[in-house]
Each structure stands twice: as C-alpha cells, then as structure tokens.
Structure 1
Amino acid sequence: MADKILICGVDEAGRGPWAGPVCAGAVILNPLNPIAGLNDSKKLSEKKRDKLALLIKEYALCWSIGWASPEEIDELNIRQANHLAMQRAVQGLSIAPDLALIDGNDAPPLDCRTETLIGGDGIEACISAASILAKTARDAKMVEYDLQYPDYGFAKHKGYGVKAHSDALKRIGPCPIHRMTFKPVRAAKQQLDN
C-alpha cells in the first residue's frame, strides 16, 4: 500500500468578484468510485455542477470547503486570503493527503507536498471536483446574501462586476459583504461620501 499516495485536488472560486467571500474546495477522490463528467466548473451548466457536487460529496474519500471572508480579503489581500481559504479546505479533510494538486500557478503553504497545474481544473479529476464544490458552495452563499441584501442582484451575478452590480453600487453604495479594497467598490463609496 505504500505506493498508493493520497492526492487531493484544490481549487478556489470567487477571486475576482467585488463582493462576498473567496471559497476553496479540497477533494480526495476514491479511485474505486470514479465520477463521470468531472470538468472545470466554469465549463459546466449550473444544473450539471449541482448534480456533480452531490456525487462528489457521496463518492469521494473525503472533501472539505474552506472560506476567507470579505474582511480577511481586505485585511490580507486577495492572494493571501485565497491561500487561507485553500489551507482551511485542506486542513478540514478527514484524511491527510500526501500531495495537493492545486489549480493555477500559486500554491499556499500546506502540511503536504504541493504541485501547481495551470488549467488543472480541466485536466485532473480531483481538481475538477474541488472546483465544482468551491463554485457550488460560493454560489449558494451568494444566493443567501441576496436575501439579506436584495438591492444588488447577488443571486444573479454572484458579486462579479457586471453593469447591474456597478449601477447598484453607484446608487446605494457598498454593503457589509463588499470588498472595500477593490477599486470599483472604493470608487463607489468615495462618490457617495462626497
């Protein structure tokens, strides 16, 4: 069994939005229970992602979600907050991995060996699974925030910088889940303050 190393896929969702947390997924898949249809979450429909997320949670050896809040993003910067979310996701696994395969080219410090893979969410099934869990968890969280802050359209755009979001920011300013260090949010706040 010594040759069987436990590989965990790690990916995040929500680096670019102006509002909401950043979310990371970590997944160790079961090689005896492969899940068909895994791919980069951005290439899948919402319905397909939701279906796959349930299968991942059921059939993976273990999985975990990690978060970094808008406050942590503002305090640390998005890169460090992203690392924090990934660290929390990996630490939350019930089985410690030997290796973490991380989507992109920037690995956080972890207690196991790490390798980065650009476009990994479309190549490695474990990273695809992590990508799907991060995206579905973050989307669900933004839908919850939409009930709390209905004037911004979070359920629709998930906090990304679309015109409707920009218009709402200019009209009513930022809410508590906005990332104040992000330029469009700062600009909207300054405009309303003046």
Structure 2
Amino acid sequence: MSDGPAGPTQDEEQRLWRRGFSRIAGIDEVGRGPIAGPVVAGAVVLPDLTGASHPDLALVRDSKTLSAAQLARADVVVRELALGVGIGVASSEEIDRMGIAPATRKAMRRAVEALPEPPDHLLIDAFPLDWHRTPCLAIIKGDALCTAIAAASVVAKVYRDRLMCELDERYPGYGLASHKGYASAEHLAAVGSLGPSPAHRRSFSPFKPALFDRDALRA
C-alpha cells in the first residue's frame, strides 16, 4: 500500500514475506518527550494490503502528520484491517525509576506480548529492541516509510491521547488533555502554580529533581 511518494509502503514487509516470514509486527512508541504521562507503544501485524480498498486507508501514516479527527479514523482502519494489535504502557513512575530508553523498550515488549499471536519478525521505528530470538529491523523514520510501523504509531497515539484525557480528569488544572503532557507554556505555568501531580516525570528537565519528590505529591 502506498499513498504517493510521501506515504508509507509495505516494501519491507513484502521482502520479508518473500523470505518466508508471515507475522511481521510493526512497532512504534509515542510519548518519549513529554514531562507528564506514560510512554505508550503499539504493535501491529498487517496483511498484504496490495489492492485493498478502504476510504480512509491513506490515513495510515505517521501519526504526527494527522489531526485528531484523522487519527480517530486511521485507528478504526488499522483495527479493521490488522491481523493483530497490541498496546504496551510504561508509567511515569517506571520512566523515573529506569530512565526513558529502558521504559520505552519495556512498553514495546509489553505491546508485542499483547498481540494475539507472537510475531516472527519485528519492524521498529529507529529504536532497536532485543526480543528473545525474534529477528528485528530498526528503520530510521520507519513511521513515515513502513506501513506496519505507521499503523503502530497510530494506535499508540490514539491510546495515549485517551490516557492523557483520563489523567486530565484525575488531575485537573494542568491542561493534560490539550497538550498531552508536553512542556507547553500553559503546562509549565500550571506546574509552577499547583506543583507536580503523580502523573509528572520527576526525572525530566526542565524541572529540578527536588521539585518531583513523590512523597510530597498531591493525592
């Protein structure tokens, strides 16, 4: 499947299918950069989409290029067409305890484990993952180039956005539903006024570590 020269394709999947692999999982994460909320990974196994017709198929692309409405439609497309979808989450507490890179890998492993059947090959967006003996290929800008990785970015983004809306209800006043935990001026001003919530990552800049004493966080 291709959406013109700028869209992702299944070229890599096609090469792997010809080599005998059958359940190729694309994996991507969202939420490495925010100062609040979890990091979320998606894992998606797609069939061969050559000749597939769906009114919103072209929306299965890098989630960063899509509006909220487009993301919602793309998420439906992926879940309708996929052979398997898995989601993995690493909490802000886990991020603080082990660091963002190990926490991201943990979320990815959880996403793979959540698939209905284990994959026999992994395609990951630029972030190598040691997954038992399952072959793995990290692709730079994979979410823009590879359909399976783009699909994973979509389901992960939609899932994390929903989590951030839930956190916004639990910890009002920070605007988590709007900025999704990124360090916007509104967000920084709210933390300065209210102090950090349990959803915030105490280990992240621009906050001083002392500001993120979890024993002093609001309940």
Question: What is the TM-score when the length of structure 1 is the normalising length?
Answer: 0.92
Query: In 2 relative to 1, CA 129–12 (structure 1 residues): closer, same or farther, beyond 3 Å?
Result: same
Tell me the residue number matched to 2:160: 138
Match of 1:16 in 2: 33
Q: Secondary structure at the match of 2:22?
A: coil
CA distance in 2, matches of 1:12, 1:83: 9
Amino acid in structure 2 at the alignment position of 1:88: R
Q: Which runs of 5+ in 1 are unaligned?
A: none
2: CA distance, partners of 1:117 / 1:6? 18
1:183 to partner: Cα distance: 2.2
Counterpart check, 1:58 vs 2:80: yes
| Post-superposition offset of 1:54 | 1.3
Name the CA distance, whole Å, in 2 between partners of 1:82 and 1:3.
Answer: 29
Taking the aligned partners of 2:194 and 2:209, their CA distance within structure 1 comes to: 12
CA separation in 1, counterparts of 2:138 and 2:203? 27
Alignment of 1:1-194 (within 5 A): 3-31=20-48, 34=52, 36-37=57-58, 38-104=60-126, 106-111=127-132, 112-186=134-208, 189=211
Q: Is the 8 A contact 1:169 1:185 kept in 2?
A: no
Shift of 1:187: 5.9
Give the aligned length: 190
| Residue ranges of structure 2 left out of the alignment (5+ in a row) | 1-16
2:37 counterpart letter in structure 1: G
Q: Distance in 1 between matches of 2:207 and 2:170?
A: 19
Give the partner amino acid of 1:30.
P
Q: Secondary structure at the match of 1:184?
A: coil
Cα shift at 1:184: 2.3
In 2, Cα distance between the equivalents of 1:18 and 1:188?
Answer: 15
Percent sequence identity is 42
- Over the aligned positions, Cα root-mean-square deviation in angstroms equals 1.9
Give 1:84's aligned amino acid: K
